[in-house]
Amino acid sequence: MSHTDYYFRHQCILRKLQKAPASLEEIQDYYELECETHGYAFSFSKRTFIRDKNEILSMFKREIGYNKSLNKYYLEEEEIQDDFGGRIADTYNTYLALNMMESIADFVHLEKRRPQGMEHFSELMQALKGKFIIKFEYEKYDNSDATARRAEPLALKEFESRWYLLAKDLKDNTIKIFALDRMSYPETTKQRFKADKNFNVNTYFEHCFGIVRPSETNAKPEEIILSFKGNKGKYIKSLPLHISQQIIKEDEKELQVKLLLFITHDFVMEILKHGDEVEVLQPQQLRKSLKTILKGAEQYY
DNA sequence: TACGGGACATTTGTTTGATT
DNA sequence: AATCAAACAAATGTCCCGTA
């Protein structure tokens, strides 16, 4: 039984209880049915369930309670947590969402995107869970040779169909982002590390678009004002570019939004994606660099 | 009475190391 | 280098008892 199977069981238990409270028998039936549809014939005992229940509490901070009069287990209300457990829960939820997408892929036509580097997921998840130092080889974009790394895993994050590991590189004690598809031979060592209490993933990514943070440590997020023309506004309203997105003006012609972000390459690319349907009003520096890029592009046509 | 969990058994998978 | 089994490790199951 691989790690994946083990996560799959947790996933089934959570999915079942998310829908409605259920008795142990109902949960077991649901799991067996799910396994069957994937071509397996797994089952689990009551003892395993009790262990899973505790595991789900410690790992994902989701408590499963028991209602004696109904003879049913139920999921306690989710608490917003910002600690280690919450971080894993976050990762896990994304993982679940991804898996679910896969299982409904036969019925619903989805954009064909296959997440890269998923084969390392379980290994890294295991290290993350147990706070083990990991070793792996990593290739940079510039195609230089792969270098061996040792790092403390902090979180796994998905962005635009790619998985990334946030980890503290022990070579220079710096927190970095590693793309899973450029990583090879990840290995969990026997060595444990202590999680830094002051570190919070959400704060770390607070002003980031996607997963890239500027390398300069003193970089400051900038206030950005964008104007989306015409119908585009509706789309941006329903799918905000970033959590900091605030609507400052809205009429038939345009939608103006304010963002607080680090201006990174990824963000510039995001703006370009919207072509002539967006105008950067602020800051001036960003207006200028977009103008340069677009002028450069113009000469091709 | 039935859940939760400790202790131990069983199963399954992985590592090691000796042997061919 | 390839093979196999013993040793080990991890996951899961069985049994049983305290407790609410």
Q: SS3 of A300, please?
A: coil
Q: Which nucleotide is nearest to A43 (CA to C1')?
A: C12
Fold of the domain built from segment(s) A118-204: SH3 type barrels. (2.30.30)
**What CA–CA distance (Å, rounded) separates A224 from A115?**
31
Fold of the domain built from segment(s) A222-300: Alpha-Beta Plaits (3.30.70)
What's the Å distance between residue A1 CA and nucleotide C5 C1'?
Answer: 22
Comparing C-alpha atoms, which of A4, A39, A9 is closest to residue A27?
Answer: A9
Q: Which nucleotides of C are covered by protein (CB under 7 A)?
A: 11-15
Task: Give the DSSP letter string of A13-44.
Answer: HHHHHHHS-B-HHHHHHHHHHHHHHTT-----
A98 φ/ψ angles, rounded to the nearest 5 degrees: -65, -45
Q: Which nucleotides of B are covered by protein (CB under 7 A)?
A: 3-7, 12-14
Task: Decide if pLDDT at A272 tops 80.
Answer: yes
What's the Å distance between residue A59 CA and nucleotide C4 C1'?
Answer: 39
Q: Does at least one atom of strand C sit less than 7 Å from the CB of A7?
A: no
Specify the pTM: 0.62
Q: According to the model, what pLDDT value does residue A101 have?
A: 47
- Find and give the residue nearest to B13, measured CA to C1': A1
**What CA–CA distance (Å, rounded) separates A75 from A64?**
5
What's the Å distance between residue A183 CA and nucleotide C11 C1'?
Answer: 28
Q: pLDDT tens-digit profile of A224-262?
A: 888 888 787 788 777 787 877 888 888 888 888 888 888
Fold of the domain built from segment(s) A3-99: Arc Repressor Mutant, subunit A (1.10.10)
Question: Would you kindly state where each structural domain of chain A is located, as residue ranges?
Answer: 3-99, 118-204, 222-300
Q: pLDDT tens-digit profile of A42-95?
A: 888 888 888 888 888 877 777 888 888 888 888 877 654 445 555 555 666 555
Q: According to the model, what pLDDT value does residue A102 have?
A: 47
Comparing C-alpha atoms, which of A280, A264, A269, A272 is closest to residue A225?
Answer: A280
Q: pLDDT tens-digit profile of A1-57?
A: 555 677 778 878 888 887 788 888 888 888 888 877 777 778 888 888 888 888 888
